Chain A
Amino acid sequence: MTSAATTHDDHHDHGPETGWMRWVTTTNHKDIGTMYLVFALAMLFVGGCMILAVRAELFEPGLQFVDPGFFNSMTTMHALVMVFGAVMPAYAGLANWMIPMMIGAPDMALPRMNNMSFWVLVFAVLLLASTLFMEGGAPAAGWTLYPPLVLQSGDNLPFAVFSVHLLGISSILASINIIVTVLNMRAPGMTLMKMPLFCWTWLITAFLLIAVLPVFAAAVTMLLTDAHFGTSFFDAAGGGDPVLYQHLFWFFGHPEVYIIILPAFGVISTIVPTFSRKRLFGYSSMVYATGSIAFLSLIVWAHHQFTVGMPLAGELYFMYATMLIAVPTGVKVFNWTATMWRGSLSFETPMLFSVGFIILFTLGGFTGLMLATAPADFQYHDSYFVVAHFHYTLVVGGTFPVFAAVYYWLPKWTGHLYDEKLGQLHFWLTAIAFNITFMPQHFLGLAGMPRRIPDYAIQFADFNMISSIGAFILGFSQLIFAYVVYQAIKGGEKASAEVWENASKMGLEWTVPSPAPYHTFTRAPEIE
């Protein structure tokens, strides 16, 4: 209880401001973390509604509800909103809340910049959302924004491009903040190799973000000048090459999936030991595996482009390099399994989501290996098999750990225990509905159904109907989550400082009272 005991003699210490201006001007890492998380939840529902429009249209063959242009807008915007509006901000929120508390720091290193990176994000997403109300509609060329198709977009293109710029600035500022915090603000005695794994994974993710987001920003800038200033970066008529865009995009796009998944690995590595009542198995191998995955992610991008006409040597290189990623990822999966082995397991909601993650994410990893096989990829490419694969890795890999993390730390944030029954109901509905939605899409893809189409051949009807039913259950199940969170904020059984059995041995955040005081660790804690 070091911090609670020391707060009264700190003259600079004060609670939050009152009124709504608190949220606009705050530089407190907990406030900013909360805003990130609430924003991410709101975007989860926005992106979810978009895809429900898509799944409603795909419920039956033929065109029923939306016209194909709007359908394409919805698939495009769903992806952009979910990736940049929901999942990435959710992890930024977790980082803001937890990293300072995990390393015993009083706040993030650069609190004002922290405020800026959040509010830039909000404006970036608003800018993107404004295209929905424009003549010609929102971007509809797919989230990859491939030219030459995307160059035929109307007025929405500059908005999408500037939105990407702002999103990039927001994420880069947040990344710089995280790196500086982790490197400069750790409590005395906390060496890098004693740091909780969540901090490690975020540190490496932050470096990845700084390395690849500017390349994406450069690529979309070229799109903008190609469309409006007469350049020919991607226009073959002027000596450019549209395939170049694909290289630039995937140089960003592939590390991007690891940007999402690495902090998720950190969350799982935090939660599994707590509910196994054991230390994490193979801590240092986890750190090295994270580093290897990050490095490999930078040199495998063209496995997204096996069908553009690469020479055999290129196909082989990208195929083997991609498959190599299975090795450090396997290290992680085996380490989690070994952590649970002979542990004293209990299955509260955070653990359920973590175990669900390990199983389903591994399935997504296996389909990834299938896609990495260059000769087989020609069949899977741009089919629903790909859609199924990346939802197994990104929905399970991206959002399951966020749910796990929120349930895990919610008592610490709010001071109240959440409703365990509802939490478990949320897990089971989510996990079952997820599989109803996406498992059939594997078979649809193998049978030849292409992605990004509003209508399809009659033989795909049954599996699409099943998938759509699953999608609606999955979507509405998330209302339970919103309700559980709301309930825990409003009140409920008081949580102890430790919350989970023996958690105080699992991390510094469990040594402060619940709810965590507005300022924690203004005096550095002792690290043994």
Chain B
Amino acid sequence: MAPPVISLRNISKKFKKVEALKGIDLDITPAEITGIIGPDGAGKSTLLKICAGVLSFHGTATFMNTDIRRHPERIKKYLSFMPQGLGLNLYMDLSVEENIDFFAAIKNVPDAERDRLKDQLLRATGLEPFRARWARRLSGGMKQKLGICCSLISNPEVLLLDEPSTGVDPLSRRQLWEILNGFITEKGTTLILTTSYMDEAERCHSVRFIHDGNVLFSGNPEELMREEKDLEDAFFKMLLAGKELTTYDIPFRNNVSKNGSIAIVISGVSKHFGSFKAVDDVNLSIQHGEIFGFLGPNGAGKTTLLKCVLALYKPDKGSIRIMELQSGSPELRKTVGYMSQIFSLYGDLTVAENIELYGAIYEIEKKDLKERMQWVIDVSHLAGMEDTMVGKLPLGIKQRLALGCSTLHLPSVLILDEPTSGVDPVARRSFWQLIRLLSDKLGMTVIVTTHNLVEADYCDRIAIMNEGKVIAVDTPENLRNEFIHHSGDVYEIYPETGLDAKIFSERQIEVAPFGRRYHIWKKGLSENEIKALMDSHKIGYRFIRTIPPLMEDVFIYFLERKR
């Protein structure tokens, strides 16, 4: 095996009182994709910055045999580092081309080499037509693609990307992975990336699972997937480490009767901001007691639509009826609960004070409030912390508390805008459990938005949104079946050795590399055909199996069909 390109021994890092890393050992294999995964605040970014030589630390670290601590400047000509956040390494007031040129100049790329690689990258990312456009005017996905172009222009030996796909729309995410996979195969680049999306880890050759400053797992994703159906479940088990996920019950009943079967009707709603169509002719009806998800990338119009439902925005066209009342009717105030995208609690008030405040706003009677407050405190794991300032709580707990507060008045309709954004997988899962409970026990109709397509399976029905339009509405299962019906089953192949993806693409088979595995699909493609194809190229394989299509692929399918 090739010697590691980066080698960390007993690395620790303290920020004031917080220990971000607690003596980590880690090796990175060259010419592979290594995924550093883990919940938020696990220390992933810290680790990446140490590898890039932009953060001080304790311990021994070498980068291509150079001591990072002693000679951080010597390693920088070999690496490219992209910090976390959409397009945060870009200069927003420079054009696409100027950004790339700037990076080339500070990284000493000769002009001829720069121009050649620039053309190649711009074509691959689909940014070619936007050369002269300012970075500010690019969409989130385009910014991230440009960020990757800027990182690749110096043809680095090692590419360090901090959460490259967070907040990127599915189509751009797919392109991003295509470029990265291409680069690794063609140039033998070592790629290290961090992610809090567990599904993304499956695309890596090798993963390091970081939790609370320690490495919990180091190895190939395939090793974990033997026992669990996907990595998320595997990591979830590791995080819980034998502990059971707490279950709750609701000690009180909702007195809202389920009189009609349809809770919300949205008909022909459009909302424009200037010439920008944030919401474009949306028609939907949501049933009583349903968990209904709006899925789509940032900027798809999810929040705007919710704000129309809440009568915070007046739609330019169309109408919305909630529980047979016009949206915005004063009677609705007590039947609708809302948790906004921006943290809606007061950081300078204690847990109990926040709950009391919401109780007062919703005019809940004293005797009811006591019981409900106890419940909110139980479900947000805050027993004994009633007097803690909310500002000091971790995000996952805050979100549960906010959810509790928005349900204090036992609304019939609960509207949650991106409640799980930035929440780690464990907290996310128990958050969804809570939503399910509210829906099952109290018959609440819950509307949730999320940009994380993986969360589709937590919903009864979903609406996929893109550019203000709803492009598909159904249960996640039906949407997948429709994909399979039109595009064929999705197969996962785990070859013994590496293979050239061309053997599939030249037969018009869709192919996406996932670490050492490949996902392939084509209408009418059978397992026997694949086996024959593999045999004809003399490629052995550990398994070929059908898997449910990824929601991301389903999304792209519907998007392309709409077009």
**Are A and B part of the same complex?**
no
- A residues adjacent to B (C-beta < 8 A): none
